[in-house]
Amino acid sequence: MKFLSTLLFSALFIAVIFTSCGKKEDVKTTDSTKKDSTSQTKQDPNNKLSTGSDSSQKNTSADIKNVSYEPGKLPASVKYDGKIVGGARWEDKNGVNVVIITETEEKTTGDNRSKELFGYQFILDGENAKQVWKINDFIKDCPVDIMLSLIPKSLTVTDINRNGIGESTFLYRMSCKGDVSPDDMKLIMHEGEAKYPIRGSMIQIMEGKKYGGEMKVDAAFDKAPSGFFAYAQEQWKKFETEKIGE
């Protein structure tokens, strides 16, 4: 009888030990799962940035700083034609950069009208300025109504390929016409002296009908860094549509 009691007590003691060990393992597993979940939650915002889902981070770089869409005070060494209608300033590997878009007043000679648009980029070094590029477009001797104007809010500064050199992109519209047909539209992107243009016409929607919408991509984009054309196309689509009478 004593031997049976001892045997039952030993069996009960062993069962308690195994049960206790099982509970401790369950707690460890739960803690480990919680830590993994917390770690994943912390990483999610970074994952969004790395995949480019956050548009504010998609085209920026640590080497592009102090981007402002005001050209600010320009030194006397910056020479340009016309009146400034848009501009940007930023800092990158090349130094302090300024892009300005200018337009002349519409001039009338007899029954003809003329106007010009210019774009410039300068690198500033104190009071000195080095011109990186200059573009000029114009309408001359137009006997009907003319349009030549920077599209508002279309000037942007990016670093799509993250090489520490900023790209500038802007769009403008132009026409010489006596009807309500769509205006021509042009996009100009620059990285340094390299120029990447798109030319075509705006989409005009009038009385439910669609007019225009031509888009001619310059061959320069064939050799452009990855992502340049996708961004340029995105900007083109953003500004190409005009609704008449709505």
pLDDT of residue 32: 31
Q: Are 111 and 152 found together in one domain?
A: yes
Token digits for 9?
């007590």
Is the domain of 39 the same as that of 151? Answer: no
Of 32, 56, 80, the position where a domain reaches its end is 56
**Domain co-membership, 50 together with 88:** no
- Domain co-membership, 184 together with 231: yes
Same domain, 85 and 31: no
Least Cα distance to 76 among 133, 132, 126, 135 occurs for 126
Asked if 177 contacts 204 with a C-beta cutoff of 8 angstroms, the reply is: no
The last residue of a domain, from among 40, 56, 72: 56
Same domain, 18 and 86: no
User: Would residue 207 be called left, alpha or beta, if left means φ above 0 and alpha means ψ between -120 and 50 degrees?
Assistant: left
* Residues 170, 143 share a domain: yes
Q: What is the dihedral of CA 25, 27, 31, 37, to 10 degrees?
A: 90
Q: Answer yes or no: are the C-beta atoms of 173 and 236 closer than 8 Å.
A: no
Whether 120 and 33 map to the same domain: the answer is no
To which residue do tokens 């000029």 refer? 136
pLDDT given at position 50: 24
Question: What pLDDT sits at residue 213?
Answer: 97
In this structure, which amino acid lies at residue 145?
Answer: D
The pLDDT value given to residue 41: 29
Give the pLDDT of residue 60. Answer: 65
Tokens linked to 227: 């992502």
Tell me how far apart the alpha carbons of residues 246 and 184 are, in angstroms, rounded to a whole number. Answer: 21
Do 110 and 98 share a domain, yes or no?
yes
How many domains does the structure of the chain reveal?
A: 2
Residues 83 and 30 in one domain: no
Give the pLDDT score at 33: 31
Can you give the residue range of the structural domain that contains 235?
Answer: 59-244
**33 Cβ contact list (under 8 Å, min separation 6):** none
Q: Which helix (H) or strand (E) holds 99?
A: strand 95-103
Same domain, 230 and 175: yes
Tokens for 208? 């439910």
- Give CA–CA dist 102/92, Å, rounded: 23
Q: pLDDT at position 246, please?
A: 64
| One domain for residues 47 and 74 | no
pLDDT along the chain (246 residues), means of 10: 39 36 32 32 27 41 91 97 98 98 97 97 98 98 97 98 98 96 97 98 94 97 98 98 85
What's the pLDDT at 203? 97
